[in-house]
Structure 1
Amino acid sequence: MSVKYGSNELLNTILSGSNDKSVRLWDIRSGQQIQLFNGHKDRVNVVEYSPFSVKNIEVINGYSNVICSGSWDNTIRFWDIRSNKNELYVLNGDDKEDNGMRCFKFVSLKRK
């Protein structure tokens, strides 16, 4: 349903969201799946490499990369790529008002 190419240190990766409710991280060079993220209850319509970093005590003096996914289940989920754990955070939409997450984009705000 959705594919996104990596940049910076994730240059050789592709992120995908699928009808099978999964988010997958792929290595372009080998064609192999690097990680699988499960948690959505419906198909994943949108995936994005997040500009956010999360302090990660498991990586010495390092930070984790974060990816995001949006689904027909009315959630946006944030995942930590390096620790390969379950989602970091979930934003829940309103099931009565929303009709699934179809797209999103990160924008940079200028500081005053």
Structure 2
Amino acid sequence: MTRITFVTPAGQRIEIDAENGLSVMECARRANVPGIVAECGGACSCATCHVHVDPEWCAAAGEAAGMERDMLEFAEDVRDSSRLSCQVKVAPALDGLVVHLPAGQG
């Protein structure tokens, strides 16, 4: 298991144990993390699982590209660290990952 921390706009930290191989979004939904709506179910077609990756984790999580970058145009408060959590695969290298929920989703 990989530990992921979600930080709400109010500063509440929600730590979950995430199953390797699943997406960050899938793990968040299983743990009932508020603010990860994921209307499309992980098909990269809605931007309702948008997160800001904590700066120290940006390199490990990678950058949005292609269709994900296009979908982020529909999200609020997009930053360089923005990712769709459905496109970030949980792996041991992400153990300790911290992501922040945008204000419009928390």
The structure that is helix-richer by fraction is 2
The structure that is strand-richer by fraction is 1
